[in-house]
Amino acid sequence: MFNLFKPKNPKSKFDWRVLKKNDILILILDERWNALFKNVEKTEDIKEHEGRVKELLKEESRLIAESKEIAAKKKKDLARIIQLTPQAYEDNNEEAKEEMKRCELEIKQINERMKEISDELDNMPKRIREANLQLLECTVNSVYFRMRKNQKRLKELEKLIEVTKKQLEEYIDEKGRLSEDDTDIYTYFHDLLGGEELEKLDREYFGEA
């Protein structure tokens, strides 16, 4: 696994074009992607591309909302034209004719705008996909750089742990030797002087009762 971190520039080793055929999840909506930055600050490059994806998603939502809004308006205009037709042509009502013309003009403008929105929405998935891939590329470069740094630190820690283990073993051995020496000495003087005299020595040298 760690062989992946040997190249200094993973970006140059990976052909990002192969991902254009894949259906990559929208990263900013992916909990796992967001979790990558739970304890690590995003780079400015990542923030920039993340903002771009957000903008495109907002734009897509706005276009969909506008499309529904003007479609409802068109339906209302068509209904009004049908309602005004008898007055305009049977009663020769000029005001009805003028309002019909206004509705027809508005419908024409709505049709033109709906065509524009349709074209924009048709192109939106491609724009979002490309922006998402750019964000993925920035993320991979940032994360792999961090992982390489982590691996370097892990190796340093492994060495420190190994040194510390040896030191700990030496300390344990020294503690054992000192404890054994003290026990032997204490036993010798206990046998030589007796418990009462040994207690006096303890009080004098160690301050023990």
Distance (Å) of CA 163 to CA 150, 156, 158, 159: 20, 11, 9, 6
**Is 192 part of any domain?**
no
Residue by residue, pLDDT tens for the chain (209 residues) are 334 434 444 444 566 666 666 677 899 999 999 999 988 889 999 999 999 999 999 999 999 999 999 999 999 999 999 999 998 888 888 898 999 999 999 999 999 999 999 999 999 999 999 999 999 999 998 888 888 998 999 999 999 999 999 999 999 999 999 999 888 888 888 888 888 887 888 888 887 54
Q: Which domain holds residue 78?
A: 16-151
**Is 158 part of any domain?**
no
**Is 112 part of any domain?**
yes
**Is 131 part of any domain?**
yes
**Is 169 part of any domain?**
no
C-alpha 104/C-alpha 123 separation (Å) is 29
**Is 187 part of any domain?**
no
- Helices 94-193 and 44-85 meet at what angle, rounded to 10? 150
Count of Cβ atoms closer than 10 Å to residue 91 Cβ: 9
Task: Pick the closest to residue 67 from 105, 104, 103, 121 (CA basis).
Answer: 121
Number of domains in the chain: 1
